[in-house]
A = this chain, B = another copy of it.
Amino acid sequence: MQMPFVFDRYRSVIDAQLKSVMAPYRSPLYDMMRYHLGWIDERGNDLTDASGKALRPTLCLLSCEATGSDIARALPAAAAVELIHNFSLIHDDIQDDDGERRHRPTVWKVWGKAQAINAGTAMKILANMSLARSSRDALPPEKQQRMLASLDDATLKLIEGQYLDIDFEQRSEIDIDDYLAMIKGKTAALIACSMELGVLSGTDDADTIQRFRDFGENLGIAFQIRDDILGIWGDPNMTGKPLGSDIRRKKKSLPVVFALSRAADRQRDAIFKMLQKEILADDDVETFLGILDDMHVRASVQEMADGYCDKARRKIREAGIEPGSRGDFEHILEFLSARNY
């Protein structure tokens, strides 16, 4: 499954925008951010970017373009959502005690948790500042206020989702609704916001804004569910994580929550017993995977992802944008719901 070409289209303008936002900030605090973004190594040497998909800024610029507006107007917002996403990853790695991301040591692993907290929070502030500063001349102040409010609102929802995700680790009874509430905050809110900010650069039409937001939210949910699938059944060569990784970490991701909600008593007991173990042996992981297989959890969960993709597809069709733009969004949907990495 190749990444759709649309992710390359804006790559260089997004990078340039991010680099110009960061350029004035030279002290070591900001080097932690540059490291996290893959621009430098831990000694400060420049790296050739091995960047990720930049999903959120791409969606933001596509949404702006779909309304017939110049993407330059949405570039500050595109940089802002990417910085918010990355701030959340820096804190996430601390909170989950993850020592590696994208095949490199995480920020806290290099600089310690105390400083990584600073790097994350400061990056969140840079996101707001860059949105506020760069759009000051391009957009009327009321529009800018609305965009900042939307960004802060999405960030707060993201943190509420992260709160729930951590809280779930301690709780045994998580149902599918709990799970959905969590990922709507943790993943979907910022993706919906990315779409909204792009559209807002071009139009004030409430219906259009709502349809793009709805597309983003449903895409975000599907994206996270696919992420959960890859966290258990992903090819280690593609994901960089060992097989059954999320099982080993006893994460209450959708496949586990789904299995618990459908399991017969005996299977439930077996799953609970494993979730209570301090460390899962390879045998345990295999038993766990066996239960999931017996229950056809993978197919059921993928079906759920496909359902959210269908909803997203309907929303973007209703938005009445020209076929080229619509095709871009549909390619992204197809790719994200079936991706292997």
Interface, chain A (partner B; CB < 8 A) = 27-29, 91, 94-96, 112-115, 117-118, 120-122, 124-126, 128-129, 132-133, 136, 141-142, 144-145, 148-149, 152-153, 155-156, 159-160, 162-163, 166-167
Contacts known (A128-B152, A149-B129, A149-B132); A118 close to B28, Cβ less than 8 A: no
B115 adjacent to A163 (CB under 8 Å): yes
- Chain B contacts of A122 at CB under 8 A? 156, 159-160
B145 adjacent to A142 (CB under 8 Å): no
B136 adjacent to A152 (CB under 8 Å): no
B126 adjacent to A156 (CB under 8 Å): yes
- Chain B contacts of A149 at CB under 8 A? 129, 132-133
Distance of A12 from chain B, by nearest CB (Å): 28
B145 adjacent to A129 (CB under 8 Å): no
Question: Which residue of B96, B125, B156, B160 is within 8 Å of A156 (Cβ)?
Answer: B125
- Chain B contacts of A156 at CB under 8 A? 122, 125-126, 129
CA distance A141 to B136 in the complex (A): 11
Distance of A120 from chain B, by nearest CB (Å): 7
B136 adjacent to A28 (CB under 8 Å): no
Contacts known (A27-B160, A145-B144, A167-B28); A91 close to B128, Cβ less than 8 A: no
